[in-house]
Amino acid sequence: MNLVKNGMARLKPYEDTLKRLVSGDFAELSPAERGEKAEQIIQACAAAAMAMGAAPVPLLELPVFAAMVRALGKVYGAEAVGKKVLLEIAAAAGGGLLLRQAMRFVPFVGGMANASRIYGTTWALGRAAQFYFSRRQAPSREELRQVFQETVENKSREQDERMAGQGLDEKLRTLDKLRKQRLISEEEYQQKRHALLGAL
């Protein structure tokens, strides 16, 4: 129960961001402006889903997915987005969505190790929703799945690289701090720094 509460508490700042992004009237927006607004919504929701994904509670981020799809619908003029539309868009992920939920319970794979996949999945569902709402006629399941597949791997890989880069920055800062505190010698600092950079 505490895990669910902690996960929901992480959602609060993103809820505020999402409310701000979907406030106002979108009727006068150009296609490019709609696309830009959609990107901001997807980005905010992907970050929220990733933050909630650290808790080993399956399907905890489903409210984020639903809120994202409804927000994108509003941007593209679909004020009422029902369960049927949500299910059509979620079907683009196929069994992959449930598989990623199950991965939370695999040692060394769940939690933050799965964060980039949650981020990529959310981006891909957002792209599929954007594709769905931006067309005059509802796309086929196969078209939605293709949009999903094209996005999920790219965005997951981008987030993996971003997280790896952040990890390296942190290690380099720690190493420099150890040198400044004279806990390691200059020679040890240079050797360890070289090894970290060489692993890129």
Domain count, the chain: 1
Name the band, by pLDDT with cuts 50, 70 and 90, for residue 111.
very low
pLDDT value of position 130 = 95
Flag whether 179 is in a domain. Answer: no
Flag whether 183 is in a domain. Answer: no
Task: State if pTM tops 0.75.
Answer: no
DSSP alpha helix (H) spans, the chain: 2-21, 31-52, 62-75, 83-90, 96-102, 115-134, 141-180, 186-198
- What are the structure tokens assigned to 22, written together? 């979907």
Flag whether 12 is in a domain. Answer: yes
pLDDT value of position 68 = 92
Please give the angle made by the CA atoms of 191, 193 and 195, to the nearest 5 degrees. Answer: 70
Flag whether 57 is in a domain. Answer: yes
d(CA 98, CA 100): 5
pLDDT exceeds 50 at position 1: no
Determine what percent of the chain is predicted with pLDDT higher than 90: 22
Q: What average pLDDT does the segment 24-49 reach?
A: 90
Name the band, by pLDDT with cuts 50, 70 and 90, for residue 110.
very low
Flag whether 188 is in a domain. Answer: no
pLDDT exceeds 50 at position 109: no
Enclosing domain of residue 95: 2-152
Coil, strand or helix at 182: coil
Flag whether 23 is in a domain. Answer: yes
Flag whether 158 is in a domain. Answer: no
Flag whether 8 is in a domain. Answer: yes
